[in-house]
Structure 1
Amino acid sequence: MAKENGKQETSQSIKVKITKKSNVQPKKKIGRKECQLVTFDLPYLGFFYNQKLLIYKGNGSDYEETVTKLKEGLSKVLEEFYQLAGILARDDDGVFKIVYDDDMDGVEVLEAIVDHDGKDGDHDGMMVSAEELASKEISFMKDLIPYDGILNLEGLHRPLLAIQLTKLRNGLAMGCAFNHAVLDGTSTWHFMRSWADICCGANTISLAPFLDRTKARSTRVKLTIPEAPPQPESVALQPLREKLFKFSETTIEKIKTALNSGKRDDIPPFSTFQTLSTHIWRAVTAARGLKPEEPTAFAIFVDCRKRVSPSMPESYFGNLIQAVFTGTAAGLVTGNPPEFSASMIQAAIKAHDAAAIEKRNKEFEGNPFIFQYKDAGMNCVAVGSSPRFKVYDVDFGFGKPERVRSGTNNRFDGMVYLYPGKDGGKSIDVEISLEANAMEKLEKDKEFLLDGEVV
């Protein structure tokens, strides 16, 4: 299949045409800055760039004016978040670091239009609307996000952040690709909200990023890059499907009440996250049709900012997450009441305290290696992102997003992303990637869906 501007063209996805490529640097001179990557960052070098897609319905603003405003705001916000305008490097000992200098290219910005059969799509009738895209699967929209299939190790030669702004009939699609070795979800949305605030007229950001990673971990880890770095399998080679399941606040409360009514008195109440995680783990395990004796695992990427000692501020900029695992036989998950699985998840999260984090760090530092993004375990359900991230508050001055999604990178059979629902309250959107047959069963599982909506 042909490629144009580095984008893979398929009949299953919208096509785009890149009309302009530029780079954005911090507005003011900063000079040379270096920041050592620490133990919390290094496991993600073998992952893909972390992709986010925000779809906006315009307020009548001209596309070119909007792009100019976004780039001006980006230049301003990069004065504080200048690390995103740098590149990865290694010192003579093989220790990874972020290097920024004023003469570097900065953030890559791509401007694009929808391309229909080679036509430019300038006419409104040739373009798609924000509402149409908001209801599509991410595989259809993958060309709206840059750096598809690019490993974070490529940050040695590429910008650490790339942004694609695609013109829609009545709005704009903002695709972002962040180098995951540089930041986690908390830092991603801190940056996005700060950028939006600047675009809305703020002179300064409300919360400056805490940039000294060595306060969380000072150990210098010498990491050797193999001659042939591990290449994650392409999602395109796997028979995967991705769906968005929307759970209302009422539905979640119903599940949570039922779960807590069956728990033992000596167990603390199950949280909303533990409740929904249990609901997903049990349903996916059943949909996979596993034999009772087959293993199944559950993984959560836990924010460690308040778990490390001393604790780090919410504004800590970088990765301060670790994967927490639990698992058992599939038959025990599906055959027992839901509080059985919920207790396992609750216990795993509680046990990941400062001592457990320190132990994990020392184990990695004693034998550092590059993970692959799918090293979660057999028959795993892995939860990333968080409904705590206020993704629908990212308003650049033309309204809240119609939809916020994760891209196709870093997806494997059992990967789950959680986002707050657009409707607000305690509603939650659940993105799930599964093998095609299992997904078909999950979509028909009335006990899983309840009154939820599938997009």
Structure 2
Amino acid sequence: MKVKQISVCFVKPKSEWLPPESKHPYHLSPLDYPNLFSQYIQKGLLFHKPPHFFMPIFLHRLKNSLSTALLHFYPLSGRLVTITNHHHLHPSISIYVDCVNSPGAKFIHATLDITISDFLSPIDVPSVVYSLFDNHKAVNYDGHSLPLLSLQVTELLDGIFIGCSLNHAIGDGASYWNFFTMLSEIFQSPSPKHISISRPPVLKRWFPDGDGPIVNLPFNLPEKFMNRFKGPKFRERIFHFSAESIAKLKAKANADCGARGTISSLQSLTAFVWRSITRARRISEEQPTHCIMMANNRAKLEPPLSENYFGNVTKYLKVDANAEELVGKELGWAAWKLHDVVVNNTNKKFRETIEERLQSIHTIQVGRIFEPNTVLMASSPRFNKYGVEFGMGKAVTLRSGYSNKWDGKVTIYPGHEGGGSVDLEICLLPQNMVNLESDFEFMVAVSSSH
């Protein structure tokens, strides 16, 4: 299975329709800078190829839709720019997005001679999926020379895969899915010149206490702080949890700690996965384990930010426990620890985290953040991922690229049937995955897997 690239071009918004502010530097916020060291967001959707489908017309229309979408999300057509301050005592750099001097977003047409059935049939997610996305293994700092946004349309024998790669220093998961959804909305508009969208992004950057852009970061040459994380080889599988299965986990977690209804479905599922993966790792009882959840803090800030704010407003919520107590105690014990850290995720604590990030920004690297025996629950089942249709109806499935994956990374998707069901994309070292597949408690809760 090999992806064949047919054509590549760059797409820009019509300059005469752009707002005046698009001509000025688009500064990153303190919440954006740490993501310079991670990799691009890569998510995509697989669709059945509609009857009488004609690829040239589809591509032409999608390019026009992308050009229109970039009127609203104009930073995605830019490139990163670094200015170096050569002061001999305090060398520093400043980074911003230049939306003018750029070829635009990248648009790729490719083919893959397999069927949807071939795509879905392997037990593990096949490595060819990584070829369905651009900017493979790139870190976000590479946005100086690479596009901040790439869209790859790959034609299967009976399907269409649309993979989107977005620079994580420009936006988080909420920003990503808002862009992807609005692109689909524009594509499906009856008017080719339709420029009004239901959820326009809020592009005005947020800064603590309104301080304005950071113009000097406390380091010089990027090579001194850039660490291109390369994880070990792992296996990757999709495990499906029905709404009924998750409801049972929630009821058990609440019953365990006598707080019926307090612990959420997601906290219960996260606790269950944390305990299951820890068992699968076969680590000694005294070893520490860690669980990290990603929190969208737009509503936590005071005053709150719009849900349409385009940028990074996430926080790592971390819980620690040694292996013996995590596995030995009931599900509700772990779920309550997760519940407690969510409840205590306040505006005050979030602002303290921002200050800490700025003081040690050069250490925000994937290999340093995630300690051994960590489980990271990324993305959210609340994003309307299956609402992205591009006129082809509901997608068959979701997949992600190579980016930001390692042993213990779990990506959460809404289940295809909806109703509170969830798909978990789990990455584990090969032997750990074998152990998880043999875990009776885990596999009983799983409704299906592929």
Q: TM-score, normalised by structure 2?
A: 0.91
Shift of 1:74: 0.6
Q: In 2, Cα distance between the equivalents of 1:19 and 1:272? A: 44
Query: 3-state DSSP class of the match of 2:366?
Result: coil
Larger deviation, residues 337-346 vs 128-137? 128-137
1:158 alignment counterpart: 146
Q: In 1, Cα distance between the equivalents of 2:273 and 2:386? A: 23
Query: 3-state DSSP class of the match of 1:174?
Result: strand
1:447 correspondence with 2:433: no
Say which of 341, 344, 350 aligns to 2:334: 341
Query: 3-state DSSP class of the match of 1:196?
Result: helix
Shift of 1:131: 3.7
Inter-CA distance 372–419: structure 2 relative to 1 (3 Å threshold): same
Q: In 1, Cα distance between the equivalents of 2:40 and 2:227? A: 13
Q: In 2, Cα distance between the equivalents of 1:219 and 1:16? A: 44
Say which of 9, 23, 46 aligns to 1:32: 23
Say which of 339, 342, 350 aligns to 2:343: 350
Structure 1 portions without partners, runs of 5+: 1-13, 115-126
Q: Read off the aligned partner of 2:334 and give its amino acid letter.
A: S
Say which of 129, 135, 143 aligns to 1:141: 129
2:184 alignment counterpart: 196
Shift of 1:449: 2.1
2:90 alignment counterpart: none
2:377 alignment counterpart: 383
CA contact (8 A) 2:47 2:159 kept: yes
Shift of 1:453: 1.1
- Give identity over the alignment, percent: 29
Q: In 1, Cα distance between the equivalents of 2:407 and 2:282? A: 14
Q: In 1, Cα distance between the equivalents of 2:211 and 2:23? A: 21
Q: Could you give the per-residue CA deviations for residues 94-124 of structure 1, whole angstroms, max 9, x where no partner exists? A: 23212201x521101111122xxxxxxxxxx
Larger deviation, residues 170-179 vs 149-158? 170-179
1:90 correspondence with 2:82: yes
Q: In 2, Cα distance between the equivalents of 1:322 and 1:83? A: 23
Larger deviation, residues 351-360 vs 312-321? 351-360
Q: In 2, Cα distance between the equivalents of 1:405 and 1:347? A: 31
2:98 alignment counterpart: 99
Q: Could you give the per-residue CA deviations for residues 385-419 of structure 1, whole angstroms, max 9, x where no partner exists? A: 00001111101111121111221111011011000
Q: In 1, Cα distance between the equivalents of 2:314 and 2:71? A: 25
1:123 alignment counterpart: none
Structure 2 portions without partners, runs of 5+: 86-92
Q: In 1, Cα distance between the equivalents of 2:233 and 2:63? A: 38
Matches of residues 184-223 of structure 1 in structure 2 within 5 Å? 184-201=172-189, 203=194, 204-214=196-206, 218=211, 220-221=213-214, 222-223=216-217
Say which of 339, 360, 367 aligns to 1:367: 360
Larger deviation, residues 158-167 vs 181-190? 158-167
Query: 3-state DSSP class of the match of 1:408?
Result: coil
CA contact (8 A) 2:130 2:400 kept: no
Q: In 2, Cα distance between the equivalents of 1:163 and 1:419? A: 20
CA contact (8 A) 1:54 1:403 kept: yes
Matches of residues 241-320 of structure 1 in structure 2 within 5 Å? 241-265=235-259, 269-320=262-313
1:16 alignment counterpart: 3
Q: TM-score, normalised by structure 1?
A: 0.90
Q: Read off the aligned partner of 1:86 and give its amino acid letter.
A: G
Matches of residues 43-122 of structure 1 in structure 2 within 5 Å? 43-60=34-51, 61-91=53-83, 94-101=93-100, 104-114=102-112
Query: 3-state DSSP class of the match of 1:195?
Result: helix
Q: Read off the aligned partner of 2:355 and give its amino acid letter.
A: K
Inter-CA distance 28–305: structure 2 relative to 1 (3 Å threshold): same
Shift of 1:69: 1.3
1:321 alignment counterpart: 314
Shift of 1:220: 3.9
CA contact (8 A) 1:186 1:389 kept: yes
Q: Could you give the per-residue CA deviations for residues 44-97 of structure 1, whole angstroms, max 9, x where no partner exists? A: 111111111211111121122111111111111111011111111134552321
Inter-CA distance 197–246: structure 2 relative to 1 (3 Å threshold): same
Shift of 1:214: 2.9
1:124 alignment counterpart: none
Larger deviation, residues 214-223 vs 44-53? 214-223
Query: 3-state DSSP class of the match of 2:71?
Result: coil
Q: In 2, Cα distance between the equivalents of 1:255 and 1:154? A: 42
CA contact (8 A) 2:373 2:408 kept: yes
Shift of 1:173: 1.2
Q: In 2, Cα distance between the equivalents of 1:189 and 1:133? A: 23
Q: Read off the aligned partner of 2:156 and give its amino acid letter.
A: L
CA contact (8 A) 1:37 1:213 kept: yes
Q: In 1, Cα distance between the equivalents of 2:72 and 2:229? A: 36
Q: In 2, Cα distance between the equivalents of 1:163 and 1:342? A: 38
Larger deviation, residues 19-28 vs 432-441? 19-28
CA contact (8 A) 1:55 1:134 kept: no
CA contact (8 A) 1:95 1:220 kept: no
Root mean square deviation of aligned Cα: 1.7
CA contact (8 A) 1:38 1:218 kept: no
